Structure 1
Amino acid sequence: MEQPTTRAAGPPGAVRGWLDALAVVLAGVVAMAAVAALGLWLAGAADLPDGGFASVVAATLALAVGGSVQLDGGAGGFAAVDAGITAMPLTVSVVGAVTMAEVLLRQLRFRAVAGGRELLGRLARTVVLWVLALVLLTLAARHSFVVPLGGDLVQSIGGALGLTPEVGFHAEGPSTVGIGLAWLLAVLAATFAVSRRAPLPPALVRHQLAVRPAAFALWTVLLAYLAIGALAGVLTAVVNGNARQTMAVLLLALPDLAWMAFGLGLGAEWHGRLKGALGLPVPKPLAEVLRVPDGQEATVDLGTLADQDARAWWLLPLAAVVLLAAAFLAARRSPRTVRLWQHAVRFALAAAVTMLLVGLWTRMDAEYGLSVLGVGLGEGGGLDDLIGSVLGGSNPVAGLGSGSLTLRPSLWTAVPLAAGWGLVTGALGALLATRVRHRGEVTEQEAAGS
């Protein structure tokens, strides 16, 4: 007698696909919001007036996916604010990216290959829901604060004129949605390039050994620098006794500083300047290098940093050791049939791409200014704290001033430098790996025993 067929419990295929995509997006947003909220709370942003904390968290998430935040306001024609921030709190970005990748990989577990149409459908649904989340994020990332204008004279003039000055912020919709979408696509591409758990379409399976070992090794380099930076931050907190502020920096901007240290160790340069007291998590040696006379631009490299702190020279041997270890790891994860020059070239390409991404991620532009009756006010005060609160600052209503922070990498030299380092360390790592067992390799004894 024919047995009746039974269907697996659960939602239909189409609904299940949308639920999977929703799980990826929600997991990423919740993880980023948790890290941002904790970091901002440690930085003192929970004391923001008028219930602005949730909006500042949303603005931080917008920055974390590559968006920009504009500050505006004033008091009619009496006072005006001109400001904007483009900087990625990379701790928030990394936590969101890793969380989304892990949820996606768990949905695809126990599979070696996957159809191209299935993967495209899954990724398309994730993109649609992510764009919707970005739109909602831009709507939430806006708020206004009532602030004092500054000194007693300015306050008296404002009171006599019956003016109520305000300063607010909002996430720019086009840049947040557009660059945020590119951020997601980069996360998805990196997930399939790095992880051996990610199933590929049959046509791409044969190419995975040319990409994944080197990509995974460079991802390990970035993680190693995060671990070293976190350890340095904890030691700094213990020695200096500023645990709350240090933890705020770690929870918001650890990769910004750690990955910049990686690039500096390779010989890369950043250019920029710092004016005023911006309240952003910038280490003292870096801040001193960036403080230059008006109209000039500072160069941040190993030499200029070592002039402020001689320990900066240690970044050079650190980069060499970490890259060599990563090259060895990449060679060990590759078949023994791969030639030495192939290891070197693949590792050089991976190092160049990594340096390009690090440079793009560590760009920073934060500018603000207040003018009263067309006359700019002095530096320092509370608007710098409002800007700082989005990336780790405090009370935004202490006063207003002006200032700026710019930091941009010299990619045209950084990327070739990284490629050169990758070529040399890739070759050396492959040589070292010739005497060890490679992943998946079967020895003669094991073959005979089977």
Structure 2
Amino acid sequence: MSPRTTSDQVARHGWPQALATVLGALVAMGVVAALGLWAAGATDLPDNAFPRVVAATLVTAVGGTIKLSGNAGELAQTQAGLTVIPLSVTLVGVVVIAAGFLRPLRRRAVMGAAELAGWAGRVAVVWLAALLALAFAARQTFSIDLGEGAIEDLGDLFGVAPKLGFTTDVPLTVFFGLLWLAGVLVLALLVSRGAPLPARLLRFQESVRPAAYAMVVLLLTYVAVGVVIALVVAATRGHAAETMAVILLGMPNLVWLALTIGLGATWNGQVAGPFGLPMPHVLDEVLRTEDVSALNLSTLSQHDGRVWWLLVVDAVLLLAAAFVMAARSPARMRAWQHAVRMAVALTLTVLMICLVCRVSAHYGLSILVFGDLGGGLSGKLLLTPEVWPALGLAALWGLATGFLGGLLARRVRRRGVVDVDGRR
């Protein structure tokens, strides 16, 4: 089949394929989100709010913004905010969209920039329509039960009927949702060895693609290991529903956090009120303090000495990733070049983790004459990284493992020039 024939097929079938790609991603993400929220007990929400909560989960999974609002009457006030990305749902969307985007590009060595942009543009147009539909579907208001006893009496006395609602910031959702899609499409082109590139970019594929592929394999391996550990814990210690909720909504949030902690990075956080970190419990123990606490290998080891295994796991998996990168690179590359590329790739990966794994959630209700009622009516969850030290540690780890991985891959048959007495 000639390149022109393949190009014509892509152009003729582009819109149906773009629609199938986006709908496939939304269905897959929606199923994962719905099952995760069901396991977390969200089906008990009032006013048939479950579908809208699923829509809100999809919005946050692709970088959209959800705004929380509260109302508690004239003599009371509420404050609420939420910043968290359900990365399990995100990961499913990334895989499905990347596969759908790359499918019509198979068996192509080179593709013109205009043709590639046209195919990406079709996906973006359909994705934009989907974002708008999700943005207008993700809005709901809940009534907050004050419970029984003195708090309920105070609510009746002062006419306090607290409500909490959420809506979507449509402009920000569209902006970040399209930015998210662009990142997914670029990543798909970088990771896939067989995906075509414009002729002007071919010279970058030998240096960029092996490193990008190695980082994706590294991240997915951590997720796979986390899922296995979670299933074992669920089978031996119970709490199956809570474990499934973590797997289906936030497994990458936990394991990628563990990756950075194993490198020596520090996260600062605090847990108060009903909020908590579902797994592992040691995180909740460290962060449930009056002030912001540091979360790193040192503080975690004071509660559970097994966390030092994170250091060992990081060393093994990073060395394996560096070996994969070197094995997929041309043989003419030196060990120091692998070290530099691994350092850059790992630094960018850790930066991504620092951006997407941070969490901020708070809710508070107070009657003006009594102040914060506390108890189950207020809570706080905060988790933010110390970014620059984390990036510095990632660069050092990348240099060390990249150099060793390059040395280990020397005996592997690879593409490129092999210098043996000046011959190929």
TM-score of the superposed pair, with normalisation by structure 1: 0.87
SS class of match (1:249): helix
Q: How far does residue 406 in structure 1 lie from its aligned partner after superposition?
A: 1.0
1:182-193 alignment runs, 5 A limit: 182-193=179-190
Letter paired with 1:426: G
Q: 1:364: which partner in 2?
A: 359
Q: Deviations over 1:299-351 (max 9, x none)?
A: 11111111111110000011011111111111111111112221111111111
2:311 to 313, 316, 323: 316
Contact 1:277–1:379, Cα closer than 8 Å, also in 2: no
What are structure 2's unaligned runs of at least 5 residues?
Answer: none
1:181 to 178, 182, 192: 178
Distance 2:179 2:125 in 1: 13
1:109-148 alignment runs, 5 A limit: 109-148=106-145
Distance 1:65 1:356 in 2: 18
Higher deviation after alignment, 119-128 or 201-210: 119-128
Contact 2:261–2:310, Cα closer than 8 Å, also in 1: yes
1:43-442 alignment runs, 5 A limit: 43-159=40-156, 164-279=161-276, 281-293=278-290, 296-373=291-368, 375-381=370-376, 401-439=377-415
Letter paired with 1:200: L
Distance 1:177 1:62 in 2: 10
Distance 1:265 1:439 in 2: 33
Structure 2 CA distance for partners of 1:321 and 1:279, relative to 1, 3 Å:
closer
Letter paired with 1:334: S
Distance 2:362 2:66 in 1: 11
What are structure 1's unaligned runs of at least 5 residues?
Answer: 1-7, 382-400, 445-450
Distance 2:39 2:224 in 1: 20
The percentage of aligned residue pairs carrying the same residue is 50
Structure 2 CA distance for partners of 1:299 and 1:249, relative to 1, 3 Å:
same
Distance 1:50 1:246 in 2: 27
Q: 1:36: which partner in 2?
A: 33
Q: How far does residue 162 in structure 1 lie from its aligned partner after superposition?
A: 6.3
Q: How far does residue 44 in structure 1 lie from its aligned partner after superposition?
A: 1.0
Distance 2:100 2:371 in 1: 50
Q: How far does residue 165 in structure 1 lie from its aligned partner after superposition?
A: 3.8
Letter paired with 1:349: V
Q: Deviations over 1:75-94 (max 9, x none)?
A: 33133321111111100000
Contact 1:278–1:380, Cα closer than 8 Å, also in 2: no
Distance 1:233 1:13 in 2: 42
Contact 1:77–1:373, Cα closer than 8 Å, also in 2: no
Q: How far does residue 420 in structure 1 lie from its aligned partner after superposition?
A: 1.1
Distance 1:130 1:87 in 2: 22
SS class of match (1:286): helix
Contact 1:105–1:197, Cα closer than 8 Å, also in 2: no
Q: How far does residue 42 in structure 1 lie from its aligned partner after superposition?
A: 1.0
Kindly tell me the number of residue pairs found equivalent between the two proteins: 418
Distance 2:150 2:12 in 1: 64
Structure 2 CA distance for partners of 1:363 and 1:374, relative to 1, 3 Å:
farther
Distance 1:141 1:314 in 2: 41
SS class of match (2:107): coil
Q: 1:17: which partner in 2?
A: 14
Contact 2:80–2:361, Cα closer than 8 Å, also in 1: yes
Distance 2:399 2:154 in 1: 65
Structure 2 CA distance for partners of 1:80 and 1:219, relative to 1, 3 Å:
same
Structure 2 CA distance for partners of 1:187 and 1:140, relative to 1, 3 Å:
same
SS class of match (1:317): helix
Structure 2 CA distance for partners of 1:375 and 1:114, relative to 1, 3 Å:
farther
Distance 1:52 1:232 in 2: 32
Q: 1:392: which partner in 2?
A: none
| Two-structure CA RMSD over aligned residues (Å) | 2.6
Q: How far does residue 14 in structure 1 lie from its aligned partner after superposition?
A: 5.7
Q: How far does residue 158 in structure 1 lie from its aligned partner after superposition?
A: 4.2
Distance 2:130 2:193 in 1: 29
